Amino acid sequence: MKDSYEIAVVHGDGIGPEICAVSIEVLKAALGPDLLCFAEYPAGASHFLKTGESLPEETRHACAQADAILHGAAGLPGVVHPDGTEVGVDFSLRTRFELDLFANIRPIRLYEGVESALSRAKPGSIDYVIVRENSEGLYAARGAGSLLRGDVAVDTLVQTRAGIERIVHKAFRLAQASNGAPEDGVRRVTCCDKANVLRSYAFFRSVFDEVAQNYPDIETEYAIVDAMSMYMVLRPEHYNVIVTENMFGDILSDLAAATIGGLGMAPSGEVGEENGLFQPSHGSAPDIAGKGIANPYGMVLSAASMLDWLADRHSDPRLSQAAERIRQVSVGALAGGCLNSDLGGSASTTEVARQLCDSLAEPA
C-alpha cells in the first residue's frame, strides 16, 4: 500500500480530453483529492501538428515511471506518417511494445438501461471478456513492414511460444476468477484463431491446448474468427473469456461493443508485469469532438479497472472499494436513464459526470 499513486494522464485528441476529464473527476470523487496524483503529458496527433512530435521523450519516461497510465484516445483523420499510417496511434502502440503491456483486457457487459443492437439481448445476458494479445500478432509489424517498388507490401505476423503462453494463462486465470458464462454458468475459455488457414494461428491453438492442461476446471473450445463474429451476434450469452491474437482482438472488440450499446460503453485495460495503461476501446471520435456529447462511461469503467489493477499490485483495499463504488454508480446512472445520445438519451458528457459524482458523494 502506498501513501499516494502517480497517474500519468495522456488526454490525446478528439473526445480524448473530454472523457479523460470526466474520469479524473470521478476518481477524485471516489477517492478524495490526495490518494491519486495526476500529472498530464502530451502525445497524439494534435501535439504532432504543433511540434512535429507525436510522443515526446518526457511523456515516454513519465509513463514508464508512473504507477499507472490513463489515456483518453488519440488520432485525427489525415494526420499520417509518410507511409500512410496514423500518427495518433504512435502513443498507444509504442507504449504497449516498450512497456510490454501484453494483455489487453476488454470486458463486454450489457447493463440495464442500455439497449443492445441485438433485439433479443437482455441486461446481464452478455457478460464476457475479450483477452487480446497486445504485444505480438500482426500489429508487431507496426513501423517495420516493407513496400517493394510501390507494388508489393508486406507486414509480418509474429507469434512466439512465450507470448502465447502468457496471454493464455491470463485468460484462464480470468475465467477462474469469473462467474462463468451467462448462458449456463460454465467457466470457459474460447480460443479464437484462424488455425485452419495459417500456421501461426495453428501454433497459437497448439500452445493454447498445452496451457489448458493446467486448468482442468475450465472448459475449453475453439472458434475460427469469421464464425466467431457470427456467434458473438447470435449467441453472445455463451461466452465467458475469449482469448485471441492482437488484430483479431481489435476487430472483435468493436463488434462486441456494438452488442452492449456501442463503442462508448466499452472499457479496456492494457497490462504487463509492471505497467498498466487504461483507455476505452474506442478511438478519438473526431466527428463528435467538442460537442459535449461524448459518452464517458467506457472511460470511467476503464478508470475503475485501473483502480482494480493498482489495488491488486499494491494490496490496497481502498482502491478496490473505490472501483466497485464507481461501477455501482455507473450501473445506477445507466439504469436511471442518464444516457448520452449514442445510447438514445440526451445527457451531455458533463451531465453524466455530475450524476456520477453526486452519487459518489452519497453514502454507499
Catalytic residue annotation? 139, 194, 226, 250, 254
What is the smallest separation between the CB atom of 341 and ligand ATP, expressed in angstroms? 7
Q: Judged by CB under 6 A, does residue 288 bind ligand ATP?
A: yes
**Closest separation in Å from C-beta 328 to ligand ATP:** 21
Among 79, 105, 263, 271, binds ligand ATP (CB under 6 A): 263
Closest approach, Cβ 314 to ligand ATP, in A, equals 29
Site for ligand ATP in 121-150 (CB under 6 A): none
Nearer to ligand ATP, 200 or 284 (CB): 284
Positive/negative CA dihedral, 63, 69, 70, 75: positive
Provide, rounded to whole angstroms, the least separation between the CB of residue 122 and ligand ATP: 23
Cα separation, 325 vs 300, in Å, equals 12
- Spatial CA neighbour of 277 closest among 114, 145, 139, 103: 103
Of positions 30, 285, 333, 353, contacts ligand ATP by CB under 6 A = 285
- Confirm or reject binding of residue 16 to ligand ATP (CB under 6 A): no
In the list 234, 287, 362, 364, the residue contacting ligand ATP (rule: CB under 6 A) is: 287
Q: Is 294 in the site for ligand ATP (CB under 6 A)?
A: yes
**E-strand spans in 155-261?**
188-193, 219-224, 241-244
- Taking CB under 6 A as the criterion, the residue among 42, 249, 283, 345 binding ligand ATP is 283
DSSP 8-class letter at 222: E
CA angle, 268 then 55 then 71, to 5°: 25
The span of 20-28, 61-69, 294-302, 319-327 binding ligand ATP (CB under 6 A) equals 294-302
CA distances in angstroms from 35 to 4, 5, 179, listed in the order given: 5, 6, 31
Q: Which stretch binds ligand ATP (CB under 6 A): 31-39, 40-48, 96-104, 278-286?
A: 278-286
Q: Does 42 bind ligand ATP (CB under 6 A)?
A: no
* Farthest CA pair distance, the chain: 66
Edge-to-edge strand list for the sheet holding 219-224? 36-40, 5-12, 68-73, 276-278, 269-271, 103-109, 127-133, 241-244, 188-193, 219-224
Residues 211-250, one symbol each (x = binds ligand ATP by CB under 6 A, - = not), give: ----------------------------------------
Cβ at position 292, least distance to ligand ATP in Å = 11
Distance CA 74, CA 71 (A): 8
Q: Is 22 a binder of ligand ATP (CB under 6 A)? A: no
DSSP state letters, 6-73: EEEEEEESTTHHHHHHHHHHHHHHHH-SSSEEEEE---SHHHHHHHS-SS-HHHHHHHHHSSEEEEEE
Q: Using CB under 6 A, count the residues that bind ligand ATP.
A: 15
Chain positions 304 to 363 lying near ligand ATP, rule: CB under 6 A, are 342
Q: Which of 78, 63, 93, 6 is nearest to 310 (CA)?
A: 6
288/303 with CB nearer ligand ATP:
288
Q: Rounded to an integer, what distance in angstroms lies between the CA atom of residue 170 and that of residue 176?
A: 10
Site for ligand ATP in 75-114 (CB under 6 A): 75
Note whether 139 and 247 are within 8 A (CB): yes
- SS3 percent helix, strand, coil of the chain, rounded to 5, is 45, 20, 40
Q: Which is nearer to ligand ATP, 185 or 337 (CB)?
A: 337
The site for ligand ATP (CB under 6 A) is made up of 15, 75, 254, 263-264, 282-285, 287-288, 294-295, 298, 342
